């Protein structure tokens, strides 16, 4: 759905000579709405705001909230719209708090709550708390992803790995790099002597 939403943005913002077309954008919004109604309403709201029909985006977001009242995402999207387009920070913060009451673990709402509190220069303590929660969550996920990608066995300098990748040495040779100040050490993988002739 992110790709389709990206197409909505491209078709809406690009000039006609570059392939932009509100008709194409509405077609993508319709397709999005069949899979994710809340995101579909957001796509329609985006197109209408780009057309300067500023009464219609509010209707789209109200429809999204009416259709899915238990969706934290719907309230979060509306809060983002209120803050970035209408500059109605107080209403945006209310929508984001509503999103978090519905789904306390909806991380985008935490991020945008902190961001908007900072932009509005109001309720900064709550904004800081929200951003800390968001960063702690992102940190946990990043740590888990990094642990998942760690090699199962460490490579040691000079040790050649077997299998189809035998042409690379696990270790590296250190070289001084004069472009980075001479003291920095760069590493590079060397082909094994057995494969240099092939």
What does pTM read for this prediction? 0.68
Question: Pick the residue with more confidence: 177 or 69?
Answer: 69
Longest dimension (CA), the chain: 71
Annotate 73-126 with DSSP letters as a single string. HHHHHHHHHHHHTS--HHHHHHHHHHHHHH-TT-HHHHHHHHHHHHHHT-SHHH
Rounded CA-CA distance 102/106 in Å is 9
Report whether pLDDT(179) > 50.
Answer: no
**Of 21-25, 34-38, 156-160, 194-198, minimum mean pLDDT range:** 194-198
Token couple for 69: 């009242």
Rounded CA-CA distance 43/2 in Å is 11
Residue 121 phi, psi dihedral angles, 5° rounding: 55, 45
pLDDT at residue 143, rounded to an integer: 66
pLDDT at residue 197, rounded to an integer: 46
CATH class, range 1-68: mainly alpha
Q: At what angle do helices 2-13 and 22-35 cross, to 10 degrees?
A: 160
Q: Which residues of the chain are in CATH 1.25.40 domains?
A: 1-68
pLDDT digit string (tens) for 16-63? 899 899 999 999 999 999 999 999 999 999 999 999 998 899 999 999
Token couple for 98: 């509503």
Sign of the CA dihedral 146, 152, 157, 160? Answer: negative
């Amino acid at each position: 759905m992110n790709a389709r939403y990206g197409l909505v943005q491209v078709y809406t913002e690009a000039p006609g000579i570059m392939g932009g077309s509100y008709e194409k954008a509405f077609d993508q919004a319709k397709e999005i709405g069949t899979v994710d109604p809340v995101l579909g309403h957001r796509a329609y709201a985006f197109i209408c705001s780009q057309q300067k029909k500023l009464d219609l985006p509010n209707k789209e977001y109200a429809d999204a909230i009416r259709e899915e009242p238990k969706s934290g995402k719907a309230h979060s999207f509306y809060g983002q719209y209120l803050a970035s387009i209408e500059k109605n920070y107080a209403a945006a913060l209310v929508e984001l708090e509503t999103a978090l009451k519905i789904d306390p673990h909806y991380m985008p709402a935490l991020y945008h709550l902190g961001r908007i509190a900072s932009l509005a220069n109001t309720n900064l303590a709550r904004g800081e708390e929200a951003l800390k929660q968001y960063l702690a969550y992102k940190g946990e996920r990043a740590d888990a992803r990094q642990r998942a990608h760690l090699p199962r066995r460490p490579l040691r300098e000079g040790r050649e790995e077997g299998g189809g990748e035998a042409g690379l040495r696990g270790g590296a040779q250190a070289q001084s790099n004069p472009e980075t100040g001479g003291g920095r050490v760069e590493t590079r993988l060397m082909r094994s002597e057995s494969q240099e002739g092939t």
